[in-house]
Chains A and B, each alone.
Chain A
Amino acid sequence: MAKIIASVNVSHVPAIGAAWDNGKTETPYWAPVFKGFEFSKKWIADLKPDVIILVYNDHASAFSLEIIPTFALGCAEEFQPADEGWGPRPVPVVKGHPILASHIAQSVILDEFDLTIVNKMDVDHGLTVPLTLMFGQPREWPCRIIPLPVNVVQYPPPTGNRCYNFGKAIKKAVESFPEDLRVVIFGTGGMSHQLQGARAGLINKEWDTRFLDNLVKNPEADARIPFIEYVREAGSEGIELVMWLISRGALEADVREIYRFYHVPSSNTALGHLILENKS
């Protein structure tokens, strides 16, 4: 049987991808950021997952305003890096896992999570920056990756509670897949940041820390946070954090905190990173 064994939660700031692609990882500004992922790179290299389910949001790259799916699942064989206005990032093509993805789609839809199935989609920095942070720049990504984009661009996004329960449905789906696969789920985006308006630059370390603490030990408390609190306390783009509740819902109730890293600033953003493993 397949099993989700751990979650990796991480911000997906585009400037991190640009810093990597332009060889700026050793500059005084970026060195502390990349240093914060040295443990994580070794951890995932040792873990060698077969599949990553990568929860992220598309930033107006694959989905325009023509169609706005709340939850979507990439079921294709592969996904090309998107051209976000400065040419595609020089990163490997993402190889999917169509059989597992299709199984997940079928299972969660019958569990009443009506996601949108996507068979053609380019993937933007929301998906590729977390991979860069965890794997550097290999010739190929070391495992299969199933993209799971969530709408957090047009308000309101799905509630944290909905995301948390969706994670549970994904867990059930993976555990009913007959092949022995070791799966890691990524929750990406956040933490506190606001990119627009006169309040841009907002950072709320205290709120972020409480969110992280609760995500480990009391995820139901995070799941109860109303939409408007994210916007008020963590900024209009801090709302991305609902995606960390999908990855948390996909784990067991009891988890071990393996690693945590928090750094301000990463461009406009409080960069957060949390690795959790199931206790059992």
Chain B
Amino acid sequence: MTHETDRIVPTAGFDDIPGTTLFDAQRSRQGYHVNMFCMSLMKAANREEFKKDEAAYLKKWPMSEEQRQAILARNWGRMIELGGNIYFLSKLFSTDGLSFQHVAATMTGLTQEQYAEMMLKGGRPIDGNRSKAEWKNKSETKKSG
């Protein structure tokens, strides 16, 4: 069975970059209602209505139950996997009063402090982070080490 997040027609190279979900036309279609919901939060009146009853507000968009749950749980990584795009999601986390850095940190498995520290030290290095093969090797080295 094809999983909801799998690409039906693969595009060369797209899926080899580790820890990265590329928001292409197919994912855009998949996440259409998630992203359009986020965009509705650009109006102050909508933000108020959403904050009053999140679940009721979300019912206005015909998204999947999985997508709805990811939004309610503020599971940012899952929202991305289910077709959300970070710039659309930014309307939701801005409504929550959160920053790009806060949300990015939650997707990396680091605490916000650890993530901020990594950025102050020059960011995540490119070496070892170019391809899925490099990540696979890393985790195998860890296991055997």
Contact = CB atoms under 8 A, between A and B. Distances in A.
Interface of A: 14-15, 18, 59-61, 64-66, 68, 82-87, 153-156, 192, 194-207, 228, 231-233, 236-237, 264-265, 267-268, 270
A264 B90 CA distance: 22
A15 B122 contact: no
A264 B122 contact: yes
A203 B38 contact: no
A264 B24 CA distance: 28
Q: Report the contact-size class of chain B (Cβ under 8 Å from the partner).
A: 35 or more
A126 B87 CA distance: 11
Contacts of B36: 64-66
Contacts of B13: 228
Contacts of A60: 35, 38-39, 85, 87-88, 90-91
B123 A265 contact: yes
Given A82-B42, A194-B124, 4 more contacts: A86-B97, A154-B28, A196-B21, A268-B119
Contacts of A14: 90, 100
Contacts of A195: 86, 100, 103-104
Interface stretch (B52-60, B61-69, B107-115): B107-115
B60 to A, nearest CB: 15
Q: Is the interface of B mostly helix, strand, loop or mixed?
A: helix
Nearest to B47: A85
Interface in B1-30: 12-14, 17-25, 28
* Most chain B beta-carbon contacts within 10 A, residue among A155, A205, A207, A267: A155
Residue in B85, B92, B123 with the greatest tally of chain A CB atoms within 10 Å: B123
Given A201-B108, A204-B126, A194 B20 contact: yes
Closest 10 CB pairs of A and B: A203-B123, A85-B94, A198-B19, A199-B19, A265-B119, A200-B104, A59-B87, A85-B91, A201-B124, A60-B87
A57 B145 CA distance: 45
Given A60-B85, A197-B80, A231 B20 contact: yes
Nearest to B103: A195
B73 interface: no
A202 B107 CA distance: 13
B39 A64 contact: yes
A88 B71 CA distance: 24
Contacts of A197: 19-21, 77, 80, 107-108
Contacts of A196: 20-21, 80, 86, 104, 107
A237 B17 CA distance: 13
A73 B99 CA distance: 30
Nearest to A266: B119
Given A60-B39, A60-B91, A86-B94, A199 B80 contact: no
